[in-house]
Amino acid sequence: MEIMIVQADPAKRKAKPKDESKLGFGRVLTDHMFTMSYHSSRGWYDPVVRPYEELRLDPAAMCLHYGQLIFEGMKAYRGKSGEIYLFRPTENIRRMNESARRLCMPTLDPELFLEGLKKLVLLEQDWIPKSSGASLYIRPTMIATEAALGVHPADAYLFFIIVGPVGAYYPEGFSPTKIYVVEEYVRSAPGGIGYCKAAGNYAASLMASAMAIEKGYTQVLWLDAVHRKFVEEVGTSNIFFVIDGELITPPLGGTILPGVTRDSVLQIARSWGLNVSERPLSMEEILTAFNNGSLQEAFASGTAAIVSPIGQVCYQNREYAINEGRTGSLTERLYEEILRIQYGEKEDPFGWRLRIA
């Protein structure tokens, strides 16, 4: 299928942000978007990069009522000599298709997805920030558009990609977060959709995060739904602990999001010869390690921040400082390594970078 390009009227284009240090996250979007429609009778059709604009949706569009809405989160990075990279884009495409299957939505042709993404990013390349740590955030999304009330898989969908410049996550260096272990709410359960980037998961998480923020914490640490004992994720990131030299993260089993950053951390740590485990990790084991001094580091991983050090954990009304509230050395080393691969500043031993310009 040929991807059409319709350019926005130059007179109507938005002013680009002047100060990259004030970008923040997700507030600025560019002048174009990629869209493609689907109907069960004809498959995907009309792939086009076109001016960014509001969507027209019937108020009965099924995504608005029954939540068939999935998305992805990835970035484009600018190297020192102006080159442009994507980081493991095929992993995001594969994951989007897994989310689609679970929510009875149509899958996308991976090549067409990547082609549309590249065309959009290249057209918007002047929007990609140049400062270190800043990037162009990419949000592929799929929604059910069939206008009908009554719960069933829709027969019409819209896939779109929007992009926008985002600032460096740590403009002033790392600042370890304080996290709150929530016991009364869960974000996902076995057999559910916790492994999908499905909109409903984030709606379900809001109340617990609001509670954590009100108590003075940055994020929620989620426990498993069945035992309320094993750690699963932190906020919208995966979680890692270092105990007595072992790097531990919970196993993928349907309730946690299979993060691309999580997988990158695991592969790098294994290549460094570290003792790495994907295994269940209980709060009890974490508290024992805290008490006997073997709890060394904890961090969250995700596309937005790469890794985010955890300095303090609150569990059952008690505070536990990790590494005296400072960023751990492995956390810092992993951050540097992934950042330098993403920005083309070092060798790419795993073949993760895709240079598109």
Ligand X SMILES: *Cc1c(COP(=O)(O)O)cnc(C)c1O
Residue ranges that bind ligand X, judged by CB under 6 A: 73, 197, 233, 236-238, 257, 259-262, 301-303
CB of 64 to ligand X, least distance (A): 21
Q: How far is the CB of 59 from ligand X (least distance, A)?
A: 28
Minimum distance, C-beta of residue 97 to ligand X, in the bound complex (Å): 14
Query: Least Å distance between CB 302 and ligand X?
Result: 4
Smaller CB separation from ligand X, 289 or 310: 310
Using CA atoms, how far apart are residues 332 and 336, in angstroms rounded to an integer?
6
Complex with ligand X: residue 68 or 99, whichever CB lies closer = 99
Closer of 141 and 236 to ligand X (Cβ): 236
Taking the least distance from each CB to ligand X, the nearer of 25 and 45 is 25
Q: How far is CA 71 from CA 159, 167, 239, 288, 346, in A?
A: 9, 21, 21, 38, 30
Structure tokens at 307: 């890794």
Indicate the residue type of 312: Q
Please state whether beta strands 231-234 and 237-243 pair in parallel, antiparallel, or not at all (unpaired).
antiparallel
Smallest gap from Cβ 164 to ligand X, in A, equals: 16
- Report, in Å, the least distance between residue 271 CB and ligand X: 18
Nearer to ligand X, 47 or 165 (CB): 165
**Residue in the structure block whose two tokens are 């999908």:** 196
* Cα 149 → chain centroid: 31
Question: What is each CA distance from 282 to 143, 311, 312, in whole angstroms?
Answer: 37, 18, 17
Q: Give the length of the chain.
A: 357
Which is closer to ligand X, CB of 260 or CB of 295? 260
Sign of torsion over alpha carbons 271, 273, 274, 275 = positive
3-class SS of residue 170: coil
